[in-house]
Amino acid sequence: VWYTHDEERMQLIRQGQRFSLRMLGCKLRYAVMRADEHKLTAPFEQDFAGYEEPHHITQILELSRPYLPREGAHGEMVISVGKAIWYYKKGAAGVIDISPFSCMNGIVCEAIYPTISSDLGGFPMRVFYFDGIQANLESDLEIFMELANNYHRCRKHHPPKNRQLLIDGLNKNQQQTPKLSFSRQRKSRSPV
């Protein structure tokens, strides 16, 4: 819901309607949704301590930017990538992404997760596809849990030295997102 609301806001800005009745309606909907969310979650505030969600969807979108910028990719995949990094920053020992069989969002995330995992010092990330028949689910989960436990033990003693964006970046004082370069130099081939 927060993502679709923010997409509507961005679309209005792109259309030159930053100061319009439609934008006013968008901002009013946002205020009402935030108030409703607060009323619904307030009784559970102590239960959710330590499991807080980001204050704004743009925090998640900024975390996914180096891998899937919102301007080029839309939908659930951007949220999944950003949320995986969010959980890493919150201290999780791994992330499991569950998708229906042949889901395009899951396929895109699965292609990007190895790079993110590497950037985060081997942070375990796994996509599980469900089609109603899971032959090896239990053994796959056992393997993932072993990886997560090992990562957690190693992270305590040796925090990963990864890209500054993912360790220190995107705090409230940071105004600009650092740009990351994923280009690789080609090895020159000698003529044969």
pLDDT tens profile 7-34: 889 899 999 999 999 999 999 999 999 9
Residues in the chain: 192
Average pLDDT, the chain: 81
Per-domain residue ranges for the chain?
Answer: 1-52, 74-169
Q: 128 near 137, Cβ under 8 Å?
A: yes
**Position 160 confidence tier, pLDDT thresholds 50, 70, 90:** low
Helix (H, G, I), strand (E, B) or coil at 55: coil
Other C-beta atoms closer than 10 Å to the C-beta of 188 total 6
Q: Exposed/middle/buried for 184, CB within 10 Å: 0-12, 13-18, 19+? A: exposed
- Residue 103 reports pLDDT greater than 70: yes
pLDDT in tens, 112-138: 999 999 999 999 999 998 877 777 888
Return left, alpha or beta for 78; rule: phi > 0 is left, psi -120 to 50 is alpha, else beta.
alpha
The pLDDT value given to residue 16: 95
The pLDDT value given to residue 179: 37
Other C-beta atoms closer than 10 Å to the C-beta of 85 total 24
